[in-house]
Amino acid sequence: MEKGIARALWIVPPLLLGLSVHQAKVSRDLKSTWVLGQPAMAQVLAFESRDRADVTYGYLDLQVELASGEVLRRERLSLPQVFWHRVRGQDSLEVRVMVDAPQPVVIARLMPAHWLVAAAQSGACLMGALLVLAAAWAWNRALRPSVGQREDRVSGHPPGWLQLLRRKRRR
């Protein structure tokens, strides 16, 4: 059982690394929209927040009228809890818009803090991946039998991979 858990621990570092890469991409997308996007004013259609003990989240519904006359609507724009006080009770917000970008609308009042939070989360996930990788390596190494237990009974030398495979098939 212990060996199974130690081996399953190898799944966690790639997951954390993937999350780190995703958050780095989100951070880059937020910053590029903020720097390269068109300034516009967005009308706040709705602000919803749930402050429950198990789940805390907040969403904004925004409607942006672009200079070209096109109307861009973003529903359920997720916000970190630390930024709620900056947008709660506002009728309109200054935004930056890049229509074809992965992050098409960025609230100017929340920048640069918003992209820094995403970058910090990316760094934290990367550090977590490295720490869990080191822990998985150490734990699996500690569970490996010592060299004396792995020696071949006939020759006294550690067995090669082919001999280990044959032993597993015999069992």
Check pLDDT > 90 for residue 119.
Answer: yes
Check pLDDT > 60 for residue 146.
Answer: no
Within a domain: 133? no
Within a domain: 7? yes
The DSSP 8-state label assigned to residue 161 in this structure reads H
Within a domain: 115? yes
Pairing of strands 92-97, 105-107: antiparallel
- Average of per-residue pLDDT across 63-91: 87
State the total domains in the chain: 1
Q: What is the mean pLDDT of the chain?
A: 85
- Average of per-residue pLDDT across 125-137: 96
Within a domain: 63? yes
Q: How confident is the model at residue 145 (pLDDT cuts 50, 70, 90)?
A: low
CB 37 within 8 A of CB 57: no
Q: How confident is the model at residue 155 (pLDDT cuts 50, 70, 90)?
A: low
* One-letter amino acid of 150: R
- Average of per-residue pLDDT across 24-45: 94
Please enumerate in sequence order all residues whose Cβ is within 8 A of that of 129, keeping only pairs 6 or more positions apart, or say none.
Answer: 12, 13, 14, 16, 17, 20
Within a domain: 152? no
The DSSP 8-state label assigned to residue 145 in this structure reads P
Q: How confident is the model at residue 95 (pLDDT cuts 50, 70, 90)?
A: very high
Higher-confidence residue: 99 or 162?
A: 99
Question: Helices (H), strands (E): how many in the chain?
Answer: 6, 5
Higher-confidence residue: 108 or 157?
A: 108
Check pLDDT > 60 for residue 153.
Answer: no
Residue range(s) defining the domain that contains residue 99: 2-124
Check pLDDT > 50 for residue 147.
Answer: no
Check pLDDT > 80 for residue 56.
Answer: no
Within a domain: 130? no
Phi, psi of 46 (to 5 degrees): -160, 150
DSSP element (H, E) containing 78: strand 71-79
Within a domain: 140? no
- Average of per-residue pLDDT across 43-69: 85
Pairing of strands 38-51, 92-97: antiparallel
Within a domain: 65? yes
Check pLDDT > 70 for residue 99.
Answer: yes
> What's residue 85's pLDDT?
81
Higher-confidence residue: 109 or 171?
A: 109
Global pTM value: 0.74
